[in-house]
Structure 1
Amino acid sequence: MELLHSGKVRDVYADGDDLILVASDRISIYDVILPTPIPDKGKILTQLSLWWFDQLSDVLPNHVISATDVPAEWAGRAIRCERLDMVMVECIARGYLAGSGLKEYQRDGAISGEKLPDGLIEGSKLPTPIFTPTTKVPPGEGHDEFMTYADVEAKVGAEAAAELKRITLEVYRRGQQVAETKGIIIADTKIELGRAKDGTVKLGDELLTPDSSRFWAADEWKPGGSQRYLDKQFLRDWSSSLTDWDRTEPGPAVPDEVVEATRNRYIEVYERLTGSSWA
């Protein structure tokens, strides 16, 4: 097999007409790969994505061909998948105010050009989920920037932009609907979309994982501050306490206790969502 791309978390190999997507235990924050892996992270991301692909199969088809027809050394962390022509827009849905969306709102009263009511605070539930796309900048070439809906229309065309918005919000709506029954709030999520050879839009990469979504414990949700995160925000918060790191390469080593706490959060969200024990 030929290694086509090595990203912040995943390695992509060509195997004939198929791709093999391998999730590593690498973790990145602020677009910087940290030198310390999180044990089992790659397997958790893969297995949770597969669970979500199945849950949302009636919303949109996905790129998965097989979760078992992969090299033995990558069992559990790899997916054989279809090649897609990926959409060069980061498709993000937000239902709550947090992260970069909060900063954008505090500055402009809007996110991606979507005007929001005055007086919202960190952790506020939005009146309705919104589509807040960003640019998709290649690794090492800067950071993604918010796009307005008009920007998306200019990039992909009006019909495709409407389709991206509809799909993104429906995936978020359905995902949030499922998560609520498990005591979890999905504050926001990023999905990857691409077109198959026949033009069909399909879900790719990962879906509704602690790397691509902001998960909160619903019974502890309280607007006005940070929430109990069940995702890698815990690691971002830890890094913000460092006075000698400016969020550029090289990333800082992660202490054992922070590694364990991060891993535990990934396991907790997997077990709460799927109802299965992580062995």
Structure 2
Amino acid sequence: MPGALTTIDLQGALPLIARGKVRDLYEVDDKTLLFIASDRISAYDVVMENGIPNKGFLLTLCTKAWLKILTDAIPSLRTHLLTLDLPPQIPQSLRPTLQNRSMQVRKLKMFPVESIVRGYITGSAWKEYQKSGTVHGIKVPAGLRESEAFPDGPIYTPSTKAELGQHDENIHPDQAAALVGEPYASQIASLSLQLYKTAHAYALERGVIIADTKFEFGLDTETNEVVLADEILTPDSSRFWPKDKYEVGRGQESFDKQFLRDWLVKEGLKGKEGVRMTEEVVSSTASKYQEAYDRIASGVKG
């Protein structure tokens, strides 16, 4: 297996704006950013010491495919993607490494919330529900079992957007509205649910259940439009379950980093810094990401 790209050096070609858990952001010009997806992987808000080979390519190509699927289904949808082509400032020697793990995108004023949509009760939502009968403070029907679909349809459950090294905090939609303001809060909630339902139906036909996912949005300050941004429906930002193995009442197998999360919990390493994944964890996680891409995105044209 080829090595993972965890550190990116543009040799001064573009100014670095930010370095996230996975992506490095550079400024191309006053209206354009370059997102470069590394092979870094995080779990429980901690970045692992080693990465997952090819992960950055898969995340970028998965996002590109989903944007095509979603804009075809929702013609009014605005997205931040301009092109996967690299800007001319990038040195020739770096182009083979960075092509298809990079996106040129519109510079936006990002909203300070992560827009999580949950179709099934699992993860932190299941833990909260067991304690209080709520999800992000929202009262949901009693008697649900683990991994069950919400009987009234998917729910919008936002969180705060934490700085690197900090933890995202689940919040009630009313708190998100206070942070974002109207009419943007209502637009974000409505669009998030529409995107999830569209993607869920598409994936289900391909044998994949999208249990939940996270969207991010920005504001185009020139047009005052809400714009879909960042990564879209990747294994980093979503929980994908195999439809043929789905069974209510237990945790599910998944095509995402749940394998890594489970390993961290089992080894007592959850939330600890400086963790190096074993070769088995790296290999198994890489194959999960590849399968998610193959099932959903590999045949999408354009």
- What TM-score, normalized by structure 1, do the two folds share? 0.95
Matched residue SS, 1:206: coil
Q: Are residues 1:41 and 2:55 paired?
A: yes
CA–CA separation in structure 2 for the residues paired with 1:189 and 1:228:
16
Deviations 1:125-171, CA, capped at 9 Å, x for gaps: 1111000011112112x311121122122222242211111011011
Cross-structure match for 1:206: 231
Deviations 1:147-206, CA, capped at 9 Å, x for gaps: 112212222224221111101101100010110110000000000100113211111110
Cross-structure match for 1:174: 198
Cross-structure match for 1:267: 290
Cross-structure match for 1:68: 85
Deviations 1:84-138, CA, capped at 9 Å, x for gaps: 1111011000000111111111122111232111111211111110000111121
Q: Is the 8 A contact 1:114 1:130 kept in 2?
A: no
Q: Are residues 1:118 and 2:142 paired?
A: yes
Which of 194, 197, 208 aligns to 2:218? It is: 194
Q: Is the 8 A contact 2:236 2:256 kept in 1?
A: yes
1:223 deviates by: 1.2
Q: Is the 8 A contact 2:33 2:105 kept in 1?
A: yes
Q: Are residues 1:8 and 2:21 paired?
A: yes
CA–CA separation in structure 1 for the residues paired with 2:261 and 2:126:
15
Letter in 2 for 1:212: S
Q: Are residues 1:133 and 2:158 paired?
A: yes
Deviations 1:6-47, CA, capped at 9 Å, x for gaps: 110000000113100000000000111001110000000000
Gaps of 5+ in 1: none
Gaps of 5+ in 2: 1-13
Matched residue SS, 1:38: coil
Identity score, percent: 41
Deviations 1:38-70, CA, capped at 9 Å, x for gaps: 000000000000000111115321111111234
Cross-structure match for 1:28: 42
Letter in 2 for 1:263: A
Cα root mean square deviation, aligned: 1.4
Q: Is the 8 A contact 2:44 2:270 kept in 1?
A: no
1:213 deviates by: 0.3
For these two proteins, the number of residue pairs brought into alignment is: 274
